[in-house]
Amino acid sequence: MTVLAPEDLYRLLGVPPEKIDCAGLRLTLAQVYRLGSRGLITRDHVEIPQYIEISPRDNMFRLEPGAYLVRYNEYIRVPENTIALAIQRSSLLRIGATLYTAVWDPGYEGRGAGLLVVHNRYGIELEKGTQIAQLVYIKMTRKTNRIYRGRYYGEG
């Protein structure tokens, strides 16, 4: 497994230095949504729940315990010979929250989302625009023919 160094991301993606962290691309908080209905996944069908946007007050999201969909500010492109994994900041863990994400497939592009779960019984506060994760790019052995063009392509 080869993880692309930050310097490789400058060259490969044309990302400015302020968007790069120690091992990947900074993912910052744009929007937060509460899940407002039931979701469904079957072998042939997916129904995404209704999302209710939470507005920040004084640029701060005040979140009670529970699950939230979060949207990132950054529009991401994943090269066709690469996958990416979003890994939460350790500070998020230390305040009592976790961020769950899926594999960012080869060829994906868009403003992705993650599932933020607040475990802290007192809740947490997050400033809009703060870094909540780092997107780490992992090079595959070769370019794949299975390029992502699913329902979330170009989202956000």
**CA distance to 79, 105, 148, per residue, from 142 (Å):** 11, 14, 15
For the segment 84-103, the average pLDDT, to the nearest whole number, is 96
Let me know if residue 150 belongs to a domain.
no
Let me know if residue 153 belongs to a domain.
no
Q: Would the pLDDT of 150 be above 90?
A: no
Tokens 């042939």 correspond to: 44
Say what the pLDDT of residue 93 is.
97
Task: Give the pLDDT confidence of 132-144 residue by residue, as tens digits.
Answer: 999 999 999 998 8
Let me know if residue 94 belongs to a domain.
yes
Say what the pLDDT of residue 106 is.
96
Overall pTM > 0.95:
no
Of residues 25, 7, 10, the one with CA closest to residue 134: 25
Give the best-scoring range by mean pLDDT among 10-19, 121-130, 142-151.
121-130
Number of domains into which the chain is organized? 1
**Where residue 85 sits, what CATH number does that domain have?**
2.70.40.10
Task: Give residue 102's domain range.
Answer: 2-139
Q: Would the pLDDT of 9 be above 90?
A: no
Residue 115 contacts residue 97 (beta carbons within 8 Å)? no
Q: Which helix (H) or strand (E) element contains residue 32?
A: strand 25-35
Percent share of the chain, pLDDT over 90: 76
Let me know if residue 64 belongs to a domain.
yes
Let me know if residue 89 belongs to a domain.
yes
Alpha-carbon distance of 5 to 27, in angstroms, equals 16
